[in-house]
Amino acid sequence: MKKINRDGANGSFMLDRREFIIAGLALAATSMLPNIAVAAPTKQPQMLARRKLGGTLEVSALGLGCMNFAWAYGPPTDRQHAIKVIRAAYERGVTFFDTAEVYGPFLSEEMVGEALAPIRDHVIIATKFGFEVDPITEQRRGLNSRPEYIKRVAEGCLKRLKTDTIDLFYQHRVDPNVPIEDVAGAVKDLIQEGKVRHFGLSEAGGATIRRAHAVLPVTAVQNECSVWTRDPEHEVLPTCEELGIGFVPWSPLGMGYLTGAITPSTPFDPQSDLRAGFPRFTPEARRANRPVVELLQRVGRRKDATSGQVALAWLLAKKPWIVPIPGTTKLNHLEENLGALKVQLSAKDVKEIDDGFASIQVQGARAPEALLAIHDIGANLGTSSAGGHGLSPLPRQDRKE
């Protein structure tokens, strides 16, 4: 057959006439399809520092929290933009992506699944179960960690994430109606079936962590923690260190406050932004808590770093098994967050931050009472699960009737 030369004089790439026609028809057909996805990443990803959760699960030292794309701090982000940011994070070396069924609901998992499908084998995806969500109306119906429900949720998560295995499956909140041993047992079944690789807990206290770990090794605990939210320091971090469990601080930038970008006049839409109803985010509290930002800024000036970068570097300097997951919907904020990995805080710097914070009286609780009430005993500041069993009920055979 007659050849059509596509490479000038050297003739190194050639198609026969039939192949050329088929290729042309395929190209034409493709051009008529709607533009429904951002092109897959083509750049060789950069290398970021790595850390291990639970001693076995290796992830980038900073992850990407993907809640913000779908929910909580404003209306949902445009899907294509969200995919672009998630893939940009991967190209910059991020391998750890955190989402949950309830974010949206479902929308965050769908975005993460679509964004990471072309590079699935190169990333770690964490998601969560524990809230009952109507699949039709998307109405949230409170907590539900019954074993049969966990397994049903897992199937939906796998579908939305476009994968056959969830790398890290967290219980989103401790269920006061289901023994944590039953929860761990259900996840253990999913691991044996190959649908889950690792087990995690979120907003759990020390007693619950220990009980779960006795049934199935807990790889990571994800509780809120930052320079101005020290709740885990009392019992959760010591428990994690003792048992060899990784710690993943959510909201490591204080829901954006520690970046210094939020002022007393910053508006929060009560219809789409949770912070509008948080005690720590009233205009008065934002004004009163400014010394926390100023403390970080003072350290940052010596390090040529922003207050947000210092806040992340502070967490990274605390323990080698801590992996913060700042969330953002903006590329420039992503770049800024990753810049925290270049900020080296000495023991003296960390002490300066800790001592400075100790002299500041933070105004406002980190969440409304209703939300704090579903955090486990020992997960909130001023509470302790020592000598108890946390919010999770004991298995029937262990109860004293």
* Nearby residues of 279 by Cβ (< 8 Å), 6 or more positions away: 285, 364, 365, 367, 368
CA distance linking residue 51 with residue 385, whole number of Å: 29
Catalytic residue among 73, 90, 103, 170: 103
**Sequence-ordered list of residues with C-beta below 8 angstroms from that of 383, at least 6 positions apart, any chain:** 205, 377
3-state DSSP of the chain: CCEEECCHHHCCCEEEHHHHHHHHHHHHHHHCCCCCCCCCCCCCCCCCCEEEECCCEEEECCCEECCCCCCCECCCCCHHHHHHHHHHHHHCCCCEEECCCCCCCCHHHHHHHHHHHHHHHHCEEEEEECEEECCCCCCEEEECCCHHHHHHHHHHHHHHCCCCCEEEEEECCCCCCCCHHHHHHHHHHHHHCCCEEEEEEECCCHHHHHHHHHHCCEEEEECECECCECHHHCCHHHHHHHHCCEECCECCCCCCHHHCCCCCCCCCCCCCEHHHHCHHHCHHHHHHCHHHHHHHHHHHHHHCCCHHHHHHHHHHHHCCCECCCCECCCHHHHHHHHHHHHCCCCHHHHHHHHHHHHCCCCCCCCCCHHHHCCCCCCCCCCCCCCCCCCCCCCCHHHCCC
Whether omega before 105 lies within 30 degrees of 0, making that bond cis, reads yes
Instruction: Please name which of 63, 154, 58, 161 lies closest in space to residue 115, comparing C-alpha atoms.
Output: 161
103 catalytic residue (yes or no): yes
Q: How far is it, in rounded angstroms, from Cα 278 to Cα 6?
A: 63
92 within 8 A of 128, measured Cβ to Cβ: no
The label of the residue with tokens 């209306």 reads 75
Active-site residues: which are they? Answer: 103
